[in-house]
Amino acid sequence: MPTFTAAKVALSPLLLWQGRQVRREAPRLPEASGPRLGLTGQDPQGGAMPRLRLLIVGDSSGAGVGAVTQDEALAGRLSQALARRLKAPIAWQLVARTGWTTADATAALRELSAQGRLPPADIMVMALGVNDAVQQTGPRRWTAQLDALEACACELAGVHQTVATAVPPMHLFPLLPQPLRWVLGRSARALDAALVQWTADSGTRAYFEMPFDARRDDVRELMASDGFHPGPALYQRWGEALALQIAADYRPLMRPAT
Residue 250 CA to its chain's centroid (Å): 19
* pLDDT score of 1 more than 50: no
* pLDDT score of 256 more than 70: no
pLDDT at 213: 77
pLDDT at 186: 93
* pLDDT score of 87 more than 60: yes
Q: What is the pLDDT of residues 199-216, one digit of tens each?
A: 999 989 999 998 877 778
More confident residue, 140 or 46: 140
Least confident of 58-67, 187-196, 206-215: 206-215
Q: How many CB atoms lie within 10 A of CB 250?
A: 18
The domains of the chain are located at: 35-253
* pLDDT score of 112 more than 60: yes
* pLDDT score of 3 more than 80: no
**Overall average pLDDT of the 83-102 stretch:** 95
Name the band, by pLDDT with cuts 50, 70 and 90, for residue 124: very high
Supply the CATH classification number for the domain 35-253.
3.40.50.1110
